[in-house]
Structure 1
Amino acid sequence: MTPRSLHRTTLALAMGAALLLVLAACAPIPKLEQPGQTLDGDIAARQLGLTNGSGQAVDQQWWKQFGDAQLDALVDQAMAQSPSLALARARIARAAAMTENAEANERPNAALDASVTRQRITENGIYPVPLAGSIRTFGNVQAGLSYEWDFFGRHEAELKAALGQKRAAEADAAAARLSVANAITKAYVALARSQAQSRLLQEQVALRQQGFELVRQRSEAGLDNTQELRQAEAPLPDLQRQQLVLQEQQTLLRNQIAALTGQGPSGTATLQATLPRSLDWQQAPSLDLLGRRPDLAAARARVEASAQDVRAARTRFYPSVSLSAFVGLNAIGLDELFKSGSRQWGGGPALSLPLFDAGHLRANLRGSAAEQDAAIASYNAAVLDAVRDASDQFASLQSLRQQQTAQDALVANADSQYSLAQQRFQAGLVNRLAVINAQQSRVTQQRGQLDLQAQTVDAQINLIRALGGGYADPATQPSASASTSPAPQTSASRS
């Protein structure tokens, strides 16, 4: 091709491009409704008593604040072996691969092809005699290069959408880690509570048996009647039933911990848990901590990614402009392939405008818009659920602390009654049965106190989960937002 003919070809393509750009303005792009609005969770949060400030920070390894090395080891084991976390890591890897694929669209594509074909040449084709009707070997070695200009931002939108999905996958993984740590810690606390209750119940059974034995002796001596003997015997079967219930709970909780830590039931068959101390959590949950929840971060990332998907779907209605070039060798007969006369090369621009898409592009755009609306609705639901969840957990924690104060008073009163009964027994004013009854009442109040202690720790675990477990969204670093709903980028218009 001479320089003059190349110039003419380029000019013709440029004129064609101008014509196509004019036609693009008339492309049948459907008119879409405006996307939904993301909720401002701050208003609802303040109405429910959440504070607007930095609040009390949560450590990412929050379970270590309970100071139980055995619990720490179980959580660490679960983090390493949990199947749900392995699934989350696989999803991150898949999202990362999609991001790499989107990034590759912004770079030139290069290829090298080589082929050898043994072929009989038709006698009625373009090849003259002696080639026509002969069997020949065709050799081809060719290198190609192509690049598509991103005039309308499609590649950029696809890359941003892929990055958003990757951030969502990473936030989902953080939510999975939080869920596993939460489940392990709650199961451990429940096991500790059940085992401690079992020990107190055993003490209560022993006291009831002592009391029953005293009443039986008094009945044989004619001091008590049969009705009093039956009343002393009545609580024993129920206490024994409670002990069986606690034993079942402990077996189920050990099995749950074994499953969460990736081991068989035998691995936790002898696990003895200790009820952790409750944390000193005095402040109300704050908006900035609530906004760091990993599920909210994932929902925000999906809203932003869906907006970019809509943008990418819209750009598919516009022309695509690409440039391709190739250079190589082609010959009939391998002995001729690498001679200078076998050289071939070519290249030029290409334009494409999807004028007749049979509705595929319009359907794709409407589908992307629907996905965006669904992502916004999912985000709004997550915001409302997060605000309610944090408020509920904090309200429960406050109530449990008040109940603990009242229960502590009951335990102190039972201790005092037991002490007075011992003094009166030593002074000969009451019999041994009065001391046993006072001790039984004391153990009953201690069991109530133990339940409230376990419920308080459980409520603190729930509140930590509700506040995101110390998760820090990389998209909001280094300056964390003080809002439960930092405005996701949903695009100003879809029309």
Structure 2
Amino acid sequence: MRTLALSPLLLAAAITLAGCASTGGLHTDGTPTDTAALHGERSFAKIQTTPAAWPASDWWTKLGDVQLDALITEALKNNPDLASADARAKEAQSQVAAQNAKRLPTVNAAGSVAGVYLPTTAVPAPIGGSFGTYPAVYASFSWSLDLWGGKRAAWEAALGQARAAEVDAHAARLTLSVNVARAYVQLGYAFAEKDVTDAQLKRANASHALVKQRVAAGIDNRLQIKQAETEVASAEQQAAVADEAIDAARIALAVLLGKGPDRGLDIARPQALQAAALALPPNLTADLIGRRADLVAARWRVEAATKSIAAVKTEFLPNIGLSAFAGLTSSSFDNLLSLPARFALVQPAISLPIFDGGRRRSDLNNADAGYDLAVAHYNSTLVGAINDVADKLANLGSLQTQIAAQQRAVDAARGAYELSQQRYKAGIGSYLDTLSVQQQLLTAEQRAAALAAQQVDTSVRLVQALGGGFDAGGDVPPVAAATP
């Protein structure tokens, strides 16, 4: 079998002709943001730094409620949204395999039997006018060489997208666990609100009964009765709202668990949860990139976009393909496997991208736009991530001050209530005065419960802002401009 070789002169001519399909004037515009340019030194100056501020992967166990631990474990096992994220990751992996297959040669084998009748008007007898069978077995080989690395770049682009989808699945799990914890916090607050509204209703009923006695004694008039009845009705409405909030929180948890509403009815009243300490990890701006799944995924997508550009650019260059075809054929099965029945074909070929109506330039322009979009998304995610941490830290700092002040208000209101009870028992003050002071205490306690719930909720959101225990372990691609 004779080997065919391409002349170096022919290859040089092909490269020259390929200049007709040009990449001139096409480029990317996106510029990745440097983390060093995002200053937060003054914003974080007063926050204590400790490596322990990075959340653990099971961060919810620090909140101190075993029922919550079990609920998050159940949600991570049964929530259908996680199945969607896993399916997207699996789909991306299949694209990696498909792109890798394009880099490899293909080999096929087949066999056939052809039945042929040739007319005598075309071929004289004895061949003409007879029917014959022609069995054949053969194999084919084809391989498009990857001279410029375009197929490898396309495979690497698919690999980057797959890594991003894999990280997205981690992000989906974090989002789910955070949503379960926040819904659980809301359920706890709904129960606390129910306690206050029940106490409000009890106080309103007691006030109404006392006013009725005073009206009967001629001390008050019917105006006071109507005012007391209004207060009772309002307290009953608020109690109904609190019941609805409990039901809504339980249903929200049932949805997150991937179960029906009856599952929510089995969730007991939450314990008092422990808010995360107000602290900041060292080297936040630099290390946050490897700790937040959305940032890691965004960087993988930028990396994939650069590889896509590289792959498209190689389409402007000539390429060499090699195909071969060999087998055995005969006019009968008797001598099919004999040496004279063999045949073979070897066909090297070169492709020259000269004119395509602008398809390649359009593909490259689209790849450039994809890179710019990926960079813009990464920049937006990076800026949002750092400011998200700053916002949650500021919120927690303010809530600490508010809770301390509100606790003083609760203590003062409780002291006033106890003093009013002492005065009533001593015959100095009236029971109406005691009920009025109790209203102030209940209002203060309601506000304190709301602030406590907000503090735990914000600490959970801070955990999410700090990555929720995700750690890329240094497996984060660099963000660089697309290669020219």
Tell me, yes or no, whether TM beats 0.5.
yes
Query: What letter corresponds to residue 18 of structure 2 in structure 1?
Result: A
Task: Find out whether 1:177 has 2:176 as its counterpart.
Answer: no
Q: Secondary structure at the match of 1:334?
A: coil
Query: What letter corresponds to residue 263 of structure 1 in structure 2?
Result: K
Tell me how far 1:182 sits from its aligned partner.
1.7
Task: Find out whether 1:287 has 2:285 as its counterpart.
Answer: yes
Aligned partner (choices 212, 234, 237) of residue 208 of structure 2: 212
Alignment of 1:74-473 (within 5 A): 74-121=71-118, 129-284=125-280, 286-288=284-286, 290-291=288-289, 292-473=291-472
- 1: distance between equivalents of 2:333 and 2:32? 66
- 2: distance between equivalents of 1:467 and 1:21? 51
Unaligned runs of 5+ residues in structure 1 are: 481-485
Residues 148, 414 of structure 1: alpha-carbon distance in 2 compared, 3 angstrom cutoff = same
Query: What letter corresponds to residue 103 of structure 2 in structure 1?
Result: E
Tell me how far 1:455 sits from its aligned partner.
0.7
Q: Secondary structure at the match of 1:350?
A: strand
- 1: distance between equivalents of 2:7 and 2:140? 21
Task: Find out whether 1:490 has 2:478 as its counterpart.
Answer: no
Tell me how far 1:41 sits from its aligned partner.
4.1
Name 1:22's counterpart in structure 2.
16
- The 8 Å contact of residues 32 and 480 in structure 2, kept in 1 or not, is answered as no
Of the structure 1 ranges 254-263 and 24-33, higher mean CA displacement relative to structure 2 is found in: 24-33
- The 8 Å contact of residues 317 and 361 in structure 1, kept in 2 or not, is answered as yes
- 1: distance between equivalents of 2:311 and 2:107? 24
- 1: distance between equivalents of 2:187 and 2:124? 90
Q: Deviations over 1:442-472 (max 9, x none)?
A: 2221111111111111111122222221222
- 1: distance between equivalents of 2:244 and 2:153? 56
- 1: distance between equivalents of 2:217 and 2:8? 120
- 2: distance between equivalents of 1:14 and 1:134? 51
Tell me how far 1:55 sits from its aligned partner.
6.9
- 2: distance between equivalents of 1:53 and 1:215? 59
Of the structure 1 ranges 86-95 and 136-145, higher mean CA displacement relative to structure 2 is found in: 136-145
Q: Secondary structure at the match of 2:83?
A: helix
Of the structure 1 ranges 401-410 and 20-29, higher mean CA displacement relative to structure 2 is found in: 20-29
Residues 353, 208 of structure 1: alpha-carbon distance in 2 compared, 3 angstrom cutoff = same
Tell me how far 1:410 sits from its aligned partner.
0.7
- The 8 Å contact of residues 28 and 372 in structure 2, kept in 1 or not, is answered as no
The two structures have a TM-score, normalised by structure 2, of: 0.90
- The 8 Å contact of residues 50 and 287 in structure 1, kept in 2 or not, is answered as no
Q: Secondary structure at the match of 2:220?
A: coil
Q: Secondary structure at the match of 1:120?
A: strand
- 2: distance between equivalents of 1:393 and 1:124? 92
- The 8 Å contact of residues 319 and 352 in structure 1, kept in 2 or not, is answered as yes
Alignment of 1:35-54 (within 5 A): 35-46=29-40, 49-50=43-44
Of the structure 1 ranges 348-357 and 84-93, higher mean CA displacement relative to structure 2 is found in: 348-357
Query: What letter corresponds to residue 465 of structure 2 in structure 1?
Result: A
- 1: distance between equivalents of 2:344 and 2:130? 27
Query: What letter corresponds to residue 481 of structure 2 in structure 1?
Result: T
- 2: distance between equivalents of 1:318 and 1:452? 65
- 2: distance between equivalents of 1:148 and 1:184? 52
Query: What letter corresponds to residue 482 of structure 2 in structure 1?
Result: S
- The 8 Å contact of residues 276 and 456 in structure 2, kept in 1 or not, is answered as no
Tell me how far 1:25 sits from its aligned partner.
4.5
Of the structure 1 ranges 281-290 and 447-456, higher mean CA displacement relative to structure 2 is found in: 281-290
Q: Secondary structure at the match of 2:252?
A: helix
Tell me how far 1:209 sits from its aligned partner.
1.0
Tell me how far 1:414 sits from its aligned partner.
1.5
Residues 356, 87 of structure 1: alpha-carbon distance in 2 compared, 3 angstrom cutoff = same
Tell me how far 1:151 sits from its aligned partner.
1.9
Residues 416, 122 of structure 1: alpha-carbon distance in 2 compared, 3 angstrom cutoff = farther
- 1: distance between equivalents of 2:334 and 2:124? 20
Of the structure 1 ranges 102-111 and 292-301, higher mean CA displacement relative to structure 2 is found in: 102-111
Tell me how far 1:288 sits from its aligned partner.
4.3
Q: Secondary structure at the match of 1:234?
A: helix
Q: Deviations over 1:341-399 (max 9, x none)?
A: 22223335322222222221111111111111111112222222223322222222221
Residues 220, 97 of structure 1: alpha-carbon distance in 2 compared, 3 angstrom cutoff = same
- 1: distance between equivalents of 2:223 and 2:286? 64
Give the fraction of aligned pairs with identical amino acids, expressed as a percent: 33
Residues 124, 70 of structure 1: alpha-carbon distance in 2 compared, 3 angstrom cutoff = farther
Tell me how far 1:133 sits from its aligned partner.
4.6
- 2: distance between equivalents of 1:41 and 1:397? 24
- The 8 Å contact of residues 278 and 456 in structure 1, kept in 2 or not, is answered as no
Of the structure 1 ranges 272-281 and 170-179, higher mean CA displacement relative to structure 2 is found in: 272-281
Query: What letter corresponds to residue 356 of structure 1 in structure 2?
Result: F
The two structures have a TM-score, normalised by structure 1, of: 0.89
- 2: distance between equivalents of 1:409 and 1:42? 43
Q: CA RMSD in A?
A: 2.6
Tell me how far 1:124 sits from its aligned partner.
6.9
